[in-house]
Structure 1
């Protein structure tokens, strides 16, 4: 099923312990504004409204038109290049000039992800208001999974990843805000950072518990069993738990999109199909608000021209096989001020639209297949890894050679991952968790490779910039919060 997350209104407990209310016209929901979850959470429907409020926080930091997590990891890596004719948005991040005072992504991710955590903890802390049974379990499962996902995002952004280096597990992680049944937490606490190992143990613990509680089918708009196991396949891979990643992938029922049918994959990115989508953040796309125009991180279009912010790297684009059916969703020819560009087509818009207003594909079945193939390779199961990889390639190419083994197979898995998940917020994290450098080509931004090349071509493996800085406001507010090394 597709998990499409519409924006609901819920007052979320913020890091400052204040309560905020939302526009009560959104979806007809009545938010609680008194700050008393003990009286608000008194029925299954009120608890589900609370869970739906968590999902809106994810939308806030994945889709922000300025620095959304859907795009920034590609901007930080080597899939795209800054278009000189654009607005130069996120240039401080593209050029690795970010620091604790940099606006945009750094404070956005920190504050919005922790608001999602706090909203989840409000639900978890009052869950015993419900009678024992499947409905209570399902609510708790959703909240636990959401809490894990928000912490996972924080950990991979601001801390090392366990597979990144031999000492990553003992390095500073993030604060894992956790409450138990009947607990509301201490809004005045000044917690210190935990270790990366501790963070991943708690993330996995929440997800594994959620998997035993959550419903198989929660309907469009909510996490379910496939979503939890799909996310577990990703987190286990990041943690180096390769057999567990394989086992979790095998629990996911969704298949990949059969892109051999003309336009099938394009339908997914134009939101007319949900085939193969396991988790998706969304708001009501009929809204006039520009806040949900996630595609503007890559371009803005006023017919007949497109003003690109970032375009596909020339070398990357030309490494893709012409028989690759994904080309139709990755690239389109764009013209601005007389120059032609390889513009990003994903997130361009729904059919007939070029407003960038589409849903965010957080986790797809194709990623789960690639997680499994990589884990099998890491366990020296080459034949199995090749067979798994081919289940994806069979529906992504009109023809291909295949048959790789050894290093060639590992390279093929990583290349297919780069292409399949391009522009969806994975590339920087994939290089980071594998302990690899960002190595950009020296080509320019124009379609033929001419134009202006990147100012910085390489971010060396292990560079401190792979961990974004803790926002300066957090450092100033909490004396126990230590800054990342190098900043």
Structure 2
């Protein structure tokens, strides 16, 4: 962790003007800066989002979607690499670069949150609008909880850092038990809710909001199988009446008209600059399609890309499911072997709208209202209230153009919810976590033809962290 904390000593931040969506290229704030205005502290808080932006566009899809049964790496003599191939086979070890990057970006984000919390709680600045301070506090507690939630779901025990520390101090921080990490996540999200509930008058599109804090804590409780607490949190989101399913599934992913009605929280991207953009379509387009899918023939596709929707996923869609054509498209052309075929690719994330380079502005959803509905149904079903749960699943199915489910037993509804989550959230970094949470990760991946040793339920601690901070390794690596 020493490397991560040192990297955090210079905060990579971006400022905003008015609406949070008006994001600009990154600037830096010196560690010695004195924060004397609302704008300076808000800029500090904005920096807590930047690592999340890097995580989602660089590594999270490798360790969650590619590692699952919805996405497969297509390899050839020139495509694929050690990082993605090993993750796809579910045999990635401590030397996997995706795991190392995920760890580093996560702890950089945590450092930025800790710095912002220390300023917000320890400063003497008098805010011009107290609601802005409440919003800022809610944001950083939510984001720190999200960073830790993803870390604990990947690695299990991880080091807990709750205040700015030096690299030397960080070396002495060892892994904390999973229970302690979840206790911190719950505490942070509870604080976030209190702050964000007092800041509803200053909510901005793209920022963390009160509903998102409720929904994420509901997911945390579902993950830890605290079903009564999960029911309370998720029902609160539903009762807010603020969020709803968009009538057309495809509109959730339209970069020209970004969604803030169904999406409770998403990572914001913009094609205005390289640092603010994503390149999702350039990883997902068939490599041999050149510029026909991306509409950018001048931009070479990633050799490590050519990730394809799995046949297991494609076959799981029912006839008439409107989500299929939104999630998966086909390009007809020569494959790596020169044989012309209809090659599937992830179509949720579109080609750039106007940028001349490989800059795309699709937002990446972290928490959607359909997730709330399906989680709530799962909670009710686990509380033996199956008949009460079915209508919430049917809201999602009917939007997809499918017949409503009826008369299902508990085990039948349980498997239907798992399937609906697979189809609704494919390529949204949910599938691996769902399988692990349900205790089915290894079973499903072995049936999918992957090696999936028992150790792979938890990812390996990156070798650099073992070396520098003398952390113990997870069992089996």
Name the TM-score class by shorter chain: 0.7 to 0.9
Q: Do the aligned partners of residues 477 and 234 (structure 1) sit closer, same or farther apart at CA in structure 2, a change above 3 Å counting?
A: same
The aligned residue for residue 340 of structure 1 is 342
Secondary structure of 2:158's aligned partner: coil
- Alignment correspondent of 1:233: 218
Deviation at 1:42, TM superposition (A): 2.2
SS in 2 for 1:292: coil
Per the alignment, residue 207 of structure 1 pairs with 189
- Report deviation, 1:355: 5.8
Once the two structures are TM-superposed, the CA of residue 251 in structure 1 deviates from its matched residue by 2.0
Distance in 2 (CA, whole Å) between partners of 1:77 and 1:95 is 9
Does the 8 Å contact 2:71/2:307 carry over to 1? yes
Question: Is the contact made by 2:384 and 2:410 (CA closer than 8 Å) also made in structure 1?
Answer: no
CA distance in 2, matches of 1:51, 1:23: 8
Q: CA deviation at 1:336?
A: 3.7
Report the CA distance between 1:82 and its aligned residue: 2.4
Where 1:323 maps in the other structure, the secondary structure is coil
Q: Is the 8 Å Cα contact of residues 215 and 367 (structure 2) preserved in structure 1?
A: yes
Q: CA deviation at 1:394?
A: 2.4
Structure 2: how far apart are the matches of 1:409 and 1:155? Answer: 28
CA distance in 1, matches of 2:221, 2:13: 38
Range that drifts further, 42-51 or 299-308: 299-308
Q: How big is the alpha-carbon RMSD for the aligned residues of Structure 1 and Structure 2? A: 2.8
Cα shift at 1:292: 1.6
Q: CA, structure 1 residues 97+406, in 2 after alignment: closer, same or farther (shift >3 Å)?
A: closer
Which one has the bigger helix percentage?
2
State the distance in 2 between where 1:61 and 1:290 align.
12
Aligned residues: 432
Matched, 1:420 2:424: yes
In 1, are the aligned partners of 2:145 and 2:189 still within 8 Å (CA)? yes
C-alpha deviation, 1:71, in angstroms: 5.1
Paired position in structure 2 for 1:51? 45
Quote the offset at 1:401 in angstroms.
4.6
1:63 aligns with 2:57: yes
The equivalent of 1:78 in structure 2 is 69
Alignment correspondent of 1:9: none
TM-score, structure 1 as length reference: 0.81
Question: 2:450, 2:314 → 1: CA distance?
Answer: 17
| SS of residue in 1 equivalent to 2:272 | coil
Q: Verify the 8 A CA contact 1:270 1:350 in the aligned structure 2.
A: no
Q: Which residue of 1 aligns with 2:10?
A: 20
1:328 aligns with 2:318: no
Please report how far the alpha carbon of residue 47 of structure 1 lies from its aligned counterpart in structure 2 after TM superposition. 1.3
CA contact under 8 A between 1:51 and 1:139: conserved in structure 2?
Answer: yes
Contact kept in structure 1, 2:5 and 2:166, CA below 8 Å: no
Deviation string 1:257-297 (CA, Å, 9 cap, x unpaired) is: 334xxxx3222212224030111112322325696212333
Corresponding residue for residue 268 of structure 2: 282
CA distance in 1, matches of 2:276, 2:391: 43
- Matched with 2:95 is 101
CA 1:289–1:17: 2 relative to 1, 3 Å: closer
Query: Does structure 2 retain, via aligned residues, the 8 Å contact 1:296–1:356?
Result: no
3-state DSSP of counterpart to 1:341: strand
CA distance in 2, matches of 1:391, 1:20: 46
185, 191, 203: which one pairs with 1:218? 203
Secondary structure of the 1:394 match is helix
- Please say if residues 26 and 275 of structure 2, whose CA atoms lie closer than 8 Å, have aligned partners that are also in contact: no
Q: Which residue of 2 is the match for residue 36 of structure 1?
A: 32
Q: Structure 1's 370 and 97: CA in aligned 2 closer, same or farther, altered over 3 A? A: same
Distance in 2 (CA, whole Å) between partners of 1:83 and 1:30 is: 38
- The superposition leaves residues 11-67 of structure 1 with CA deviations (integer Å, 9 ceiling, x where unpaired) of xx941266336598972775322x125x1x222211111111110110011111xxx
Which SS does the other structure have where 2:371 is aligned? helix
Tell me, in whole angstroms, the C-alpha distance in 1 between the residues paired with 2:48 and 2:276.
21
String of CA shifts for 1:98-135, please: whole Å, max 9, x gaps. Answer: 221222x1111111000000000111112132348433
- CA distance in 2 between counterparts of 1:305 and 1:365 reads 30
Structure 1 position 203, deviation (Å): 0.4
1:469 is the counterpart of 2:466: no
Could you list the runs of 5+ residues in structure 1 that have no partner in the other structure? 1-12, 160-172, 443-453
Tell me, in whole angstroms, the C-alpha distance in 2 between the residues paired with 1:334 and 1:100. 36
Q: 1:350 to 1:363 in 2, by over 3 A?
A: farther
> Residue 8 of structure 1 aligns with which residue?
none
